[in-house]
Amino acid sequence: GAVVSQHPSWVICKSGTSVKIECRSLDFQATTMFWYRQFPKQSLMLMATSNEGSKATYEQGVEKDKFLINHASLTLSTLTVTSAHPEDSSFYICSARGSGNTYEQYFGPGTRLTVT
């Protein structure tokens, strides 16, 4: 149980275009999902907390108008990178909060974004 999927697994786009990444909890309902960005050989940096039915909470320094998050249902959150630039190239990972005693996070497989 507790499987999180992401789509696409990798994407290449041209500078100035927008890219949407989907995060789904396949076998459980996730009221809260998290979006992370990870640069090579660096740790995960939390970008925003996505709550079902409400606006996302962004971390300091993350532009909410550039990284649009929509958590429309209990199993789906989307991250749209608008007007992408080469510096947005990164590994984007979502996670969903579990509901057991540990409240651990279950991570999706990640999306590799390359902006040319």
CA distance 16 to 33: 27
In one-letter notation, the amino acid at residue 16 is: G
User: How near is the Cβ of 3 to another protein at its closest, in Å?
Assistant: 11
Query: Residue 17's closest CA among 98, 83, 94, 72?
Result: 83
For another protein (CB under 8 A), the number of binding residues is 22
Which stretches within 4-75 are classed as H helix?
Answer: none
Closer CB to another protein, residue 44 or residue 68? 44
Per-residue contact string for residues 68-107; x = within reach of another protein by CB under 8 A: -----------------------x-x---x----xxxxxx
Per-residue contact string for residues 6-45; x = within reach of another protein by CB under 8 A: --------------------------x-x-------xxxx
Closer CB to another protein, residue 37 or residue 84? 37
Buried b (16+ CB within 10 A) or exposed e, 15-45: eeeebebebbbeebebebbbbbbeeeeeebe
For residue 2, the tally of other CB atoms under 10 A from its CB is: 15
User: Could you say whether residue 57 binds another protein (CB under 8 A)?
Assistant: yes
Site of interaction with another protein (CB under 8 A)? 32, 34, 42-46, 49, 57, 91, 93, 97, 102-110, 112
